[in-house]
Structure 1
C-alpha cells in the first residue's frame, strides 16, 4: 500500500509539474506575441526636414517636446537629397517645407505603420502653421498587394518552414553529406517558390525576382541549418533553443507587421539578429530599395548558416553526428527501426 501511495504521489507530482511547465510556456508565448503590439510606440523614426533653419527648428522643437525620442530629425540639403536618403534606407520619411505648405515624403514599402506616422506628423505640422500637407509615397508595394500583406505574413512561414524542413530532413536523410546537400536543395527550391508566390500570386512586388529569390534562399538555409546544428549538437535542448529563437521570439520581434522601430527597446534590435527579422529586412530592402542596407541581415543570416554547419560538423567529429550515432539518436526520437538493424535482419 505504501509503495502504491508513493507511486500515486509521484504521478500526481509529475502531472502538476508538466501542467505548470506547459502553462508557463503558453504564457510566455502569449506575452511574446502580444506585448510588442500592446507597447508599440515610435522610437527614433528618422525624418528629414528640408527648409530654412527657422522653419525646421519651429517643427522640431514642439515635436521633441510632445513626443521625446519618437523622431530622429536630420536636415537634408534639398528634397532630392531627402528622396535619395529614403531610397537608401537612411531616412524613414521627410518633410519639405515650402511656400505652398508641407510636402511629406513617405515609403509604405519601408513600413506602412511608419509611413502613417510620418504622414500624421506632416499633417500636424501643417495644421500648426495654417498650411496644407501633400503626401508622396517614394517607394510603395506592388499593385496586387498595396499594403504589403504578403511580406508581413511571411515571417511565420519562413520560421516554421525552416523548422519543419530541418526536422523532416533529419528524419529521412541520415548521411551527413546527403543531409547537407538536401538542405541546400530545399533552401533553393523553397526560396524560388516563396518568391514566385509573392511576385506572381500575391503581387507584393513587381520586379527584381532573382535577387529576391537569392535573399529568400539565404533566409531558409540559415533557418534550416541553424535548427540542424543546434539539434544535432545539443539534442532536445538545442531543438528548444531553435524554437525560441525562430518562433517564440523571432516571429513577433521580426517587425514585419509594423517596424523594428515601433517595438519596445531593445526588442526591435534583438529581432534583427534572429532569422525571421533578418530575412524580412533582407527581402524588403532587396526588392524595394535596390539592395541598400542589406549588409547587416546578410551577415546575420550567414552567421546562422555557418554556425549551424559548424555545430553539425562538431557533432559529427565528436561522434554524436556520425552515421551510427545519428541513426541512434533520431531512431530513438522518431521510433523508427535503425538502418543498421534492418541491414542485420537481412
Structure 2
C-alpha cells in the first residue's frame, strides 16, 4: 500500500511542477475555457436557425393591406415583421437600401403573388422567407412566385464569400498584432513603441486589405463590387481588429491575445450574419453581431458587393469605433506605464542601516 511519503510519487509530482509552471497551467485552463466557449457559441448560434422578425415590405391594395399585414404579423413564432409600403417602386428602394429583407407584392387580379428577395444579402434568409410567406399565403388559397432582385454572383455560393473574406481579414489583424507582441513583449515598453506598433499595423492593414480584395475579386471572381471599396473596407477591418488586439495586450499582456480571440472569433464569427443572417440567429447572437467587427465587416462587404454601398454607414462607424478605441487605449496605457516607470526611477532609495 503506497503512502504519501512514497519517493516515486514525490519525484513524479516534482517533475510535473518543473515541467508545467503555475503560469502555464493557468494558461492551459484559459485555453480550455476558450474551447468550451467556442463550441457553445458556434453550436448555440447555428444548431437551430429559424426566422424571427424578418423585415417584410407588403405592397397590396389599400383595402386589403392592413388586414394582410396583421395576419402576417400574427404568425406563430413571429417569423415576420411586416410593414405596409405604398408601391412596388418604394419597396424596391427600401430593399436596395437594406431597410427591409424582402417584399411581398399582392396581385388583386390573380391568386399568385410575387415575393421579391435579395439573396446577395444572405441566401439562407431568402429561402427561409420564401418558405414562411409561401406557407402563410397557401393557407389563404394563394400561391407565391419568388423573384431574386439582388442575386448572389455565380462565384459566390450561398453568398458566403463576403463572410469568408472578412473572417480572413480578422484573422490577419489579430495574428499581426500577436506577432508584434511576441517579438518584443506583449506590453509596449513606452509610448513611442506603442505608436510604432500601431504604425506597422496600419501599413500591414493597407496591404492586407488590398490582398484580400484582389483575391476575392479579380483572382477568384467570387465577389462582385468595387475593388477599391473592398480594399478600403479590408484595411479598416484589419486595423480595427489589430488595434483592438494590441489594446488588449497592452492591458493584460499575453492574456490579451486570448481575450481578442474570445471577442473576435468565439463571439464575433458566429454572430456575424454570414452563414445565417441576423433574423435567423438566436436573440443573443443577433444582438451582439452588428456591434462586433466580423458582423460589421460582413454587412458592409455585402453592401459593397450587391447593394451599391447602401446601408453600410453604421457598420463603418462601428469599425471606426473599434479602431479608434484600440489606438487610444494602447497609447494611453503605454503612456501611463511610461510615467510610472519614470517615477519609480526617480524615487529616492532608502539608505541601508
Q: Which TM-score applies when normalising by structure 2? A: 0.81
Shift in alpha-carbon separation, 1:7–1:247, aligned structure 2, 3 A:
farther
Q: 1:248 is matched with which residue: 251, 254, 266?
A: 266
Shift in alpha-carbon separation, 1:230–1:18, aligned structure 2, 3 A:
closer
Which has more radius of gyration? 2
**2: CA distance, partners of 1:155 / 1:17:** 31
- Where 2:268 maps in the other structure, the secondary structure is coil
Q: Which runs of 5+ in 1 are unaligned?
A: 325-346
**Residue 241 (structure 2) pairs with residue 230 (structure 1):** no
**Residue 118 (structure 2) pairs with residue 84 (structure 1):** no
Shift of residue 287 of structure 1? 2.7
Q: 2:278 is matched with which residue: 260, 270, 273?
A: 260
Deviations 1:303-332 (A, max 9, x none): 1111111122123212369999xxxxxxxx
1:33 — aligned with what?
42
**1: CA distance, partners of 2:280 / 2:145:** 24
**1: CA distance, partners of 2:50 / 2:339:** 46
Shift of residue 231 of structure 1? 0.5
For 1:44-59, list aligned pairs within 5 A. 44-59=53-68
Deviations 1:139-180 (A, max 9, x none): 122232252232232343232211111122334478444322
Contact 1:148 1:204 in 2 (8 A): no
Deviations 1:123-154 (A, max 9, x none): 22443343432222121222322522322323
Deviations 1:76-106 (A, max 9, x none): 1011111000001111001000123211100
Q: Which runs of 5+ in 2 are unaligned?
A: 343-353
2:202 — aligned with what?
184
2:298 — aligned with what?
280
For 1:315-330, list aligned pairs within 5 A. 315-319=333-337
Q: 2:126 is matched with which residue: 108, 115, 125?
A: 115
Q: Which TM-score applies when normalising by structure 1? A: 0.83
1:94 — aligned with what?
103
Contact 2:169 2:208 in 1 (8 A): no
For 1:154-233, list aligned pairs within 5 A. 154-172=165-183, 175-233=193-251
* Cα RMSD for the two superposed structures: 3.0
- Where 1:90 maps in the other structure, the secondary structure is coil
2:147 — aligned with what?
136
